[in-house]
Amino acid sequence: MLNDAIPPVLAASGVDWSEVHAVRLLGVALGALVLFWAIRRMFGGK
């Protein structure tokens, strides 16, 4: 997935890290959901 090292730009701009992690978790969850759906479609599921 994404590189877990903190990009210098983000570190410098004083980002709210709890917000960043929430967004990243949401993205990962959505990605996993889409992937799961696509795999089920591939094998003839609904």
SS3 letters across the chain: CCCCCCCHHHHHCCCCHHHHHHHHHHHHHHHHHHHHHHHHHHCCCC
What range defines the domain where residue 38 resides? Answer: 8-44
Residue 2 falls inside a structural domain = no
- What pLDDT does residue 32 have? 97
What are the pLDDT digits (tens) for 1-46? 455 565 555 565 666 778 888 899 999 999 999 999 999 999 986 5
- What pLDDT does residue 19 have? 83
Residue 14 falls inside a structural domain = yes
Residue 1 falls inside a structural domain = no
Residue 24 falls inside a structural domain = yes
Residue 17 falls inside a structural domain = yes
Residue 15 falls inside a structural domain = yes
What's the structural domain count of the chain? 1
